Amino acid sequence: MMYEALNQYRIMWVLVFFDMPTETKKQRKAATRFRKQLIDDGFSMFQFSIYLRNCPSRENADVHVRRVKNMLPEYGHIGILTITDKQFGMMELFYSRKPKEKPETVQQLQLF
């Protein structure tokens, strides 16, 4: 039980928020490319312009934050937020007025 409590602070979530222009074909292509790169790096769509990824440690989260920074498009507003699993678990989600389940934490096998 103590191990689980520590994991809530060790496991991290990386959230990427973005608002990108899509007025021209070039802009739409750049926005699509950015979304696909996020998905290829293991991010899942939380809302249309919010993607998230579960990471087993702060060090792993830092790797994915660097990857996102390397794929930033030429235009648009992008935010990156890293929070603990404990903080993520305190989020309340609703679909209209009905409570909604949070995405599950991915359990990863670790070899020592």
pLDDT of 112 over the 60 cut: no
Taking every pair of Cα atoms in the chain, the longest distance, rounded to a whole number of angstroms, is 53
Overall average pLDDT of the 6-13 stretch: 82
Task: Please state which CATH number belongs to domain 2-88.
Answer: 3.30.70.240
pLDDT at 99: 80
| Cα dihedral value 89, 104, 18, 97, nearest 10 | -70
pTM value is 0.81
CA end-to-end span of the chain, whole Å?
20
| pLDDT tens, residue by residue, 49-108 | 999 999 999 999 999 999 999 999 999 999 999 999 999 999 988 888 878 777 766 555
Query: Which residue ranges make up each domain of the chain?
Result: 2-88
Tokens representing residue 1 in the block: 């039980």
pLDDT tens per residue, range 26-36: 999 999 999 99
75 vs 99: CA distance, rounded Å = 35
Q: Which residues lie below 8 Å from residue 85, measured CB to CB, with a gap of 6+?
A: 7, 8, 9, 10, 11, 12, 13, 54, 105
Alpha-helix residue ranges (DSSP H) falling in 1-112: 2-10, 25-40, 58-70, 85-89
